[in-house]
Homo-oligomer: A and B are copies of this chain.
Amino acid sequence: MDSRDLRIDQARTSIEFLGSDAHEYLPHLAVDCVVFGVHEGDLRILLTHWTKRDRWSLPGGFVRNDESVDETASRVLRMRTGLDDVFLEQFHTFGSLDRGHPGADRFVSVGYYALVDFSMATPTPDGILTDECRWWNLCGRPDLLFDHDEMVARALGTLRLQLGTRPIGLTLFPDDFTLPELQRLYETVLGRSLDRRNFQKKMRELGILTRVGEKSTENSRRAPYLYRFDAEKYAEALERGDSLAY
């Protein structure tokens, strides 16, 4: 798809364009994505800003006739971040009667959550309905449009439940990181503080980390070590069914 086609495709994802191209999409059905990333130790999510309403929402899109719902989610993610082949999983479908734009048709939304490499994503608004797309710190995000606050809460709940069975650490920390950084992620997802000693012991014992070197001191007093996930051992651990949950 060249950039012009991409542009058109992006436009078609916006609700105003459903009227003219309605036959290309399944009516009343949408997909919304909760995209997680980590930067400076904080868990962040991707939001899009609606020009007219001056409010924020999750990135979303409509389901084309010729694609599966999973593919819709991939497409939405690709259009908003440029990323492909990332962790992306359905977590819940929202079907209340009052869903949809006020005065417009009622919509059912399939919610997906994604785990992406923050540094690889290039947030891109559709340029039609939304004029900005950017990362927000999960704690500190604005109130969202529609029922998207509930979606975020539920995505986070799913993430919490699956912390032990999905490659969450590996996906959100593809590069070097320090154990305090990783611990902050776990604490954010779990919503409670963890004991530093126990956390480090457990992570070390899992045997999925490689110590890379010392971190050149940036903001801390003593320089923490840098680690990297060993992708193979990580996969083996998941395969074995080892719980990576804290």
Number of copies: 2
Q: Is A233 on the interface with B (CB-CB < 8 A)?
A: no
Restricting to A70-113, which residues have a CB under 8 Å from any CB of B? 70-72, 90, 92-93, 95-97, 106, 108, 110
Which residues of chain B have C-beta atoms less than 8 A from A108's C-beta? 26, 29, 63, 69, 110
Note all chain B residues with C-beta closer than 8 A to A65.
106
Check if A27 is an interface residue, CB within 8 A of chain B. yes
Task: Give the most central of A28, A72, A93, A110: most B CB within 10 Å.
Answer: A93
A67 at the interface (CB under 8 A from B): yes
Interface centre among A66, A67, A68, A72 (most CB of B within 10 A): A68
Asked whether A110 lies within 8 Å of B95 as measured between CB atoms, the reply is yes
Which single member of B28, B90, B95 contacts A92 (CB below 8 Å)? Answer: B90
Bound CA–CA A208/B173 (angstroms): 44
Evaluate whether A69 and B95 lie within 8 angstroms (CB atoms) in the complex, with A29-B29, A108-B26, A108-B29 already known. yes
Q: Check if B96 sits within 8 Å of A93, measured CB to CB.
A: no
Interface size on A, residues (CB 8 A): 23
Write the chain B residue with the least CB distance to A26: B28
Residues facing B in A1-47 (CB within 8 A) are 26-29
CA of A69 to CA of B27, assembled, Å: 15
Query: Known contacts A90-B92, A92-B90; is A67 also within 8 Å of B97 by CB?
Result: yes
Q: Decide if B63 touches A95 in the complex (CB within 8 Å).
A: yes
Residue in B66, B93, B95, B97 whose beta carbon sits within 8 Å of that of A66 in the complex: B97
A residues neighboring B (CB under 8 Å): 26-29, 63, 65-72, 90, 92-93, 95-97, 106, 108, 110, 161
Known: A27-B28, A63-B95. 14 other contacts (CB 8 A): A26-B29, A26-B108, A28-B29, A65-B106, A66-B97, A68-B96, A69-B93, A69-B96, A70-B95, A70-B96, A90-B93, A93-B93, A93-B110, A161-B161
**27 pairs across A/B with beta carbons < 8 Å?**
A26-B27, A26-B28, A26-B29, A27-B27, A27-B28, A28-B28, A28-B29, A29-B29, A29-B108, A63-B95, A63-B108, A65-B106, A66-B97, A67-B97, A68-B95, A68-B97, A69-B95, A69-B108, A70-B95, A70-B96, A71-B97, A72-B95, A90-B92, A93-B93, A93-B110, A95-B110, A161-B161
